[in-house]
Amino acid sequence: MLYLQKGNFQKVVRWMGGSWMTANQATALGILFVLLTALSYYLGLRFDACRWMLLCTPCFLVLRMAMNALDGMLAREYHTGSVAGELFNEGLDIVGDTLCYGVLFFIPNGPHLSLTLFLLLTWMAEYFGVLGKSFPGGVRRHETFLGGKPDRAIWMGILALLLYFFPWLNPYIGAYLLVVSCFVLLTSVVRIRKILQAAEGENYQSYTWIGR
């Protein structure tokens, strides 16, 4: 849902790049905020003295989203986009989500099963999003049902705030992730439907590197 506001979000964050930032610098800052998100989650949930760091988690997630939007904008603006850049960007989205949220595996009594499901569904949603480019229509699917990348950042930012203000909710992290996982699963379903709708009536042939 939040992807519908991507244009407005880009207008807000464009000033952050000024006239000095390049797409690669925005990508590097995005990686930094991924690491800071993971660190804030881990330290905030692992050590009582560092619980205040959970207040920083939503900020780091928003800044990560800002840099993710900005790197593509700058690449298009300065005509520095490339196949390698897009490959790196798509791969970094998956790796970034895994690092940001996978750190919950290492907290005491972490929600291992529900977190595994959440990450698998996240990978699946992004996979189907990218897969849209290889079928008739050739469009990267961003449609969501409250389970796209920006949506997940919002949900996980809310989780960090809930865990800071209500520490007694820690045992319910798994249940929270299961609810969010339902949204991520529905996001995959929406993207699959959009791919099929775009391909309806179009000629399609499958190829591999050795031919048909």
pLDDT of residue 3: 52
pLDDT tens-place string over residues 158-210:
999 999 999 999 999 999 999 999 999 999 999 999 999 988 877 877 777 77
Bridge partners (DSSP) of residue 208 are 211
Bridge partners (DSSP) of residue 211 are 208
**108 Cα distance to chain centroid:** 25
Of 21, 13, 139, 24, residue with least CA distance to 81 = 24
| 182 touches 83 (CB < 8 A) | no
- Position 17 pLDDT exceeds 70: no
Sign of CA dihedral 125, 131, 136, 137: positive
pLDDT tens-place string over residues 169-179:
999 999 999 99
pLDDT tens-place string over residues 101-124:
999 999 988 999 999 999 999 999
Report the predicted TM-score, pTM, of the whole model to 2 decimal places. 0.90
Return the CATH architecture of domain 2-199: Up-down Bundle (1.20)
| 133 touches 139 (CB < 8 A) | yes
pLDDT of residue 89: 85
Token reading at 73: 């904008």
- Residue bearing the bigger pLDDT, 89 or 53: 53
Token reading at 167: 């520490």
Of 65, 58, 60, residue with least CA distance to 158 = 58
Token reading at 175: 């249940």
pLDDT of residue 153: 95
Token reading at 199: 């391909």
Domain extent listing, the chain: 2-199
